[in-house]
Chain A
Amino acid sequence: MKEVTLKINGVSVTVPAGTKILDAAKKAGFNIPTLCYLKDICNDGSCRICVVEVKGQKKLITACSATVKDEMEVFTSTPKVIAARKTTLELMLSNHNKNCLSCARSTNCELQKLSLEYGCDTKAFQGAVTKSRVDENDYLVRDNSKCILCRRCVAVCNKIQTVGVIGANNRGFASEIGCAFEKKLDNTSCIACGQCINVCPTGALHEKDDTAKVIAAIEDPEKYVIFGTAPSVRVALAEEFGYPIGTDAEGKMVSAIKRVGADKVFDVNMAADMTIMEEGTELLARLKDKTAALPMITSCSPGWIRFIEFYYPELLPHLSSCKSPQQMFGAIMKTYYAEKFNIDPKKIYVVSVMPCVAKKTEILRDDEAAAGVPDVDVVLTTRELARLIKAKSIDFAALPNEEFDNPIGQGTTAGLIFGATGGVMEAALRTVADVLTGENLEKIDYKAVRGTAGIKEAKVKIAGNEIKVCVAHTMANARKILEDIKAGKCDYHFIEIMTCPGGCVNGGGQPIVPSYISNNVDVKALRAKAIYDKDKKSGLRKSHENPVVKALYEEYFDHPNSHKAHHILHTTYHKREKY
């Protein structure tokens, strides 16, 4: 490849042709601030924060979108550049709701950080302010008074999820990010993935905060409050308390939740194991049944479920009928657990801690109330759990490691790896292989389905059968596979689809990593590594070997896909109208 040599602040650097000035500067040891730029997703150059001076050019140019040229001389922090950036920031601040003290993103806001670094005067420009709206629903809040029109949310919605329900409306001072015909977001074909929240540089987007509901339930002596935590919450929660990305804090998480005041803390990994039992059995049945819809596709990820219901309803028969682990967890609590311990299911309050905002919509679906009351009462994102822990003045760093409660706290690490893309597939294969061979296989690492590639496929030979599997994450990748299925070009047997890039570890409810870090570090890979490291060391790596799972079938469900299991652990889907 052709190479280009240029100078950045006098430092000579050689980079491949086509490299952006931003990346060349990084290589030369200089950081250029950005706001609208998101690596591989958004480089419109619209915010003008990354402007630099180039010798021989009158105008400042944007480093995120301009490519390097031979013998170019770039200056990244001349007085002219600094003054331009400062003015741009001050203009943004002049039209910004500055109630920063109690903003959800305070101390983690990219605008706040830059304003501090550039010594901005928050009152440099005063005058008219755009009349903006707040759009609030069951899962998300958009407060455009804090929006800086960087369009990162628009880019992620369009390019990563191919959903495109948000965009810039109107013109000039009246410009605003919103939906077609000014509809409310939950009145569009939004899939509720929450990726827009994760990429927002400010507090314009955040999850609907449900911590108050949880505090009220804990204070209510009538309520029996059970917390369940999803696989990927434990490998991200600690980031909210200053720990490095990819820290496993399972023990501290459990002990924090106990101190928050939960009656019981259980592991949703257990319900993930149940999902494998039900889904694996369903797959084996479909493989034998010539009339069944194949490939079968996983149903754990509620954003994905909304996506197929909105955009590909004709393919709904391909979905596994299994409820997601969250819903199985709640259903088991309000049926089996309630009966076993003689607790009225109406008094059980299930708090599900998830890396996800779509989970907040999942609890409101039809056919998710096995005991006649909703399976799950409230969903907290990882971020909200951290907020709850802070609100309760719990010293996270000083907490001991504690274990999930018995008797049904234990999950396997087959359930744990659900948190990363490819994990459900690998967990399923571990169990299906044992069932088909009738043996206890030792070779259970299916590395072909691991990693962050967008679409992964593998052929697995099990007991003389060849099973073709595929793993995809993000709706852009899912769309490619669904189009193949529609065209009859798809010969997979089983497909795992996760809504978010990298799977749940990078879900829309996870701690927000500002772009100045996420542009340089693969956050999803670091969190996934923490999960796979834990799996490698685990003594319990197959769902069907989980003693809790065995007990559940012996005492209650009889066998996977039994009549009772179908009633409690399975669900239905329906077409949704896009407009």
Chain B
Amino acid sequence: MSNQFKETQEQRDKLNAVLEEQKNVPGSLMKVMQQAQEIYGYLPLEVQARIADFLNIPMEEIYGIATFYAQFHTEPSGKYKVGICLGTACYVKGSGDILEKLKTLLKVDAGKTTPDLKYTLDATRCIGCCGLAPVMTVNEEVYGKITVDDVERIIAKYND
């Protein structure tokens, strides 16, 4: 795991309550997974292992479901979701270079989260504002017509 798993007692108690409640309910796995994700925000190995042991289901079966459905995440998201559009317009305007710059700056691959859970870097498809190409987003903020040199300045704003 790239990120160290941490949990609060409250999260632990909540998951235990869900497991107890669904213990003898046939076909309850999806429900348990959804509720566990609500509690933790994602489904890390430690949580999947606990579900597996409690419901007596191999962890691989749970992981298979978690990777089949887009609604489940096996890694936590960062506080800031940094998106760089790789749609056609942005791409021809050089968003590929911007992605590379973001990777070196944040020291993380596309689709991954930094160990301090601050940034998640996403290479997105077209986000529908090609007039501003190339486009980068940080959570709800949109930055258009940017260059490789702008990247450091934009990220610095979110350095809290």
User: A165 at interface (Cβ–Cβ under 8 A)?
Assistant: yes
User: B130 at interface (Cβ–Cβ under 8 A)?
Assistant: no
A164 lies within 8 A of B45 (CB)? no
Contact with B along A175-211 (1 / 0, CB 8 A): 0000111000000100000000000000000000000
B64 lies within 8 A of A168 (CB)? yes
Knowing A579-B45, A579-B49, say if A180 contacts B59 (CB, 8 Å).
Answer: yes
List B contacts of A169 (CB < 8 A): 63-64, 67-68
List A contacts of B48 (CB < 8 A): 180
Knowing A169-B67, A171-B67, A181-B74, say if A164 contacts B49 (CB, 8 Å).
Answer: no
User: A163 at interface (Cβ–Cβ under 8 A)?
Assistant: yes
List A contacts of B61 (CB < 8 A): 158, 164, 167
Q: On chain B, which size bracket covers the interface?
A: 10 to 19
B45 lies within 8 A of A180 (CB)? yes
Complex Cα gap A171–B1 (Å): 22
User: B100 at interface (Cβ–Cβ under 8 A)?
Assistant: no
User: B152 at interface (Cβ–Cβ under 8 A)?
Assistant: no
Q: On chain A, which size bracket covers the interface?
A: 10 to 19
Complex Cα gap A169–B68 (Å): 7
Complex Cα gap A30–B54 (Å): 47
User: A170 at interface (Cβ–Cβ under 8 A)?
Assistant: yes
Complex Cα gap A158–B62 (Å): 13
User: B58 at interface (Cβ–Cβ under 8 A)?
Assistant: yes
B68 lies within 8 A of A180 (CB)? no
User: B150 at interface (Cβ–Cβ under 8 A)?
Assistant: no
Knowing A158-B58, A579-B45, say if A167 contacts B63 (CB, 8 Å).
Answer: yes
User: A512 at interface (Cβ–Cβ under 8 A)?
Assistant: no
CB-nearest residue of chain B to A180: B63
Report A's interface with B, CB cutoff 8 A. Answer: 158, 163-171, 179-181, 188, 578-579
Q: Identify whether the interface residues of A are mostly helix, strand, loop, or mixed.
A: loop
Contact with A along B4-34 (1 / 0, CB 8 A): 0000000000000000000000000000000
User: B97 at interface (Cβ–Cβ under 8 A)?
Assistant: no
Given contacts A168-B64, A168-B68, A169-B68, 5 further A-B contacts (CB under 8 A): A164-B61, A166-B60, A167-B64, A181-B1, A181-B63
CB-nearest residue of chain A to B56: A162
- Cβ of B95 to closest chain A Cβ, rounded Å: 23
A579 lies within 8 A of B59 (CB)? yes
CB-nearest residue of chain A to B70: A171
A167 lies within 8 A of B58 (CB)? yes
Contact with A along B54-83 (1 / 0, CB 8 A): 000111111110011100001000000000
Contact with A along B138-156 (1 / 0, CB 8 A): 0000000000000000000
B49 lies within 8 A of A179 (CB)? no
Which of A165, A168, A170 is within 8 Å of B58, CB to CB?
Answer: A165
List A contacts of B60 (CB < 8 A): 164-167, 179-180, 188
List A contacts of B45 (CB < 8 A): 180-181, 579
- Cβ of B58 to closest chain A Cβ, rounded Å: 3
CB-nearest residue of chain A to B48: A180
A-B pairs, 7 with minimum CB distance: A164-B58, A180-B63, A167-B60, A167-B64, A180-B60, A180-B59, A579-B49
List A contacts of B64 (CB < 8 A): 167-169, 180
List A contacts of B74 (CB < 8 A): 181
Complex Cα gap A167–B65 (Å): 10
Complex Cα gap A121–B59 (Å): 39
Complex Cα gap A515–B60 (Å): 26
- Cβ of B81 to closest chain A Cβ, rounded Å: 22
